[in-house]
Structure 1
Amino acid sequence: MPHIELSSGSIDYQDTGGEGPVLVFGHGAPMNETQWRKVVPLLDGYRCVLPTLPLGGHRTPMNPDADLSQRGVARLLGEFIERLGLDQVTLVLNDWGGGQFLISEGRDQRIARLALVACEAFDNFPPGPAKAAAQVCRIPGGVRLLTRLMRVPAVRHARGGYGGMSLRGIPDEIMDDWFAPATRSKAIRRDFAKFATGAPDRRTLLAWSEKLRDFDRPVLIVWAAEDRLMPREHGPRLAELYPQSQLVEIADSSTLIPEDQPEQLARALTDFLTRTGAEPARQAP
Structure 2
Amino acid sequence: MGISSALGPAAQVDLPGARINYHEIGSGAPVIFVHGLLVNADLWRKVVPEVAAAGHRCITPDLPFGAHSIPVPEADLSPTGAADLLAAFLDRLDLHDVTLVANDTGGAITQIMLTRNRSRVGRVVLTDCDAYDKFLPQPFTPLPRLAAVPGLLRVMLELLRFRPAQRLPVGFGLVTKRPVPPEIADSYLLPSRNSAAIRADLVRFLRGVHKRYTLAAAERFHTLELPVLLVWAREDKAFKVSFAERLVRDLPDATLKVIDDSYTFISEDQPELLTELIVEFTRLHAAP
Give the TM-score normalised by structure 2.
0.91
Task: Name the SS of the counterpart of 1:122 in structure 2.
Answer: coil
Matches within 5 A, 1:1-285: 1-18=10-27, 20-43=28-51, 44=53, 45-62=55-72, 64-96=73-105, 97=107, 98-105=109-116, 107-200=117-210, 202-277=211-286
- Cα shift at 1:100: 1.1
- Cα shift at 1:66: 1.9
- Cα shift at 1:123: 1.5
Task: Name the SS of the counterpart of 2:142 in structure 1.
Answer: helix
Q: Deviations over 1:191-215 (max 9, x none)?
A: 0011112123x44532321112201
| Distance 1:7-1:57 versus aligned 2 partners, 3 A rule | same
CA RMSD across the alignment? 1.5
Residues of 2 paired with 1:7 and 1:231: CA distance?
A: 36
Residues of 2 paired with 1:73 and 1:52: CA distance?
A: 12
Residues of 2 paired with 1:254 and 1:2: CA distance?
A: 31
Task: Name the SS of the counterpart of 1:128 in structure 2.
Answer: coil
Moved more, 242-251 or 133-142: 133-142
Gaps of at least 5 residues in structure 1 are 280-285
Deviation above 4 Å: which 4+ runs of structure 1? Answer: none
Residues of 1 paired with 2:209 and 2:153: CA distance?
A: 17
- Cα shift at 1:160: 5.0
| Distance 1:41-1:17 versus aligned 2 partners, 3 A rule | closer
Residues of 1 paired with 2:130 and 2:226: CA distance?
A: 20
The answer (yes or no) to whether the contact 1:143–1:192 under 8 Å persists in 2 is: no
Q: Tell me the amino acid that sits aligned with residue 87 of structure 1.
A: H
Residues of 1 paired with 2:85 and 2:64: CA distance?
A: 9
Residues of 2 paired with 1:260 and 1:94: CA distance?
A: 13
- Cα shift at 1:26: 0.4
Residues of 2 paired with 1:152 and 1:251: CA distance?
A: 29
Residues of 2 paired with 1:204 and 1:133: CA distance?
A: 16
The answer (yes or no) to whether the contact 2:111–2:214 under 8 Å persists in 1 is: no
Residues of 2 paired with 1:4 and 1:65: CA distance?
A: 15
- Cα shift at 1:138: 1.4
Q: Deviations over 1:205-232 (max 9, x none)?
A: 3232111220101000011111122132
The answer (yes or no) to whether the contact 2:144–2:209 under 8 Å persists in 1 is: no
Residues of 2 paired with 1:5 and 1:94: CA distance?
A: 24
Give the number of equivalent residue pairs: 275
The answer (yes or no) to whether the contact 1:24–1:48 under 8 Å persists in 2 is: yes
Residues of 1 paired with 2:15 and 2:212: CA distance?
A: 30
The answer (yes or no) to whether the contact 1:32–1:58 under 8 Å persists in 2 is: yes
Residues of 1 paired with 2:164 and 2:287: CA distance?
A: 44
Q: Deviations over 1:103-154 (max 9, x none)?
A: 222x110000010011111121112211233332111112211220111233
Residues of 1 paired with 2:212 and 2:148: CA distance?
A: 21
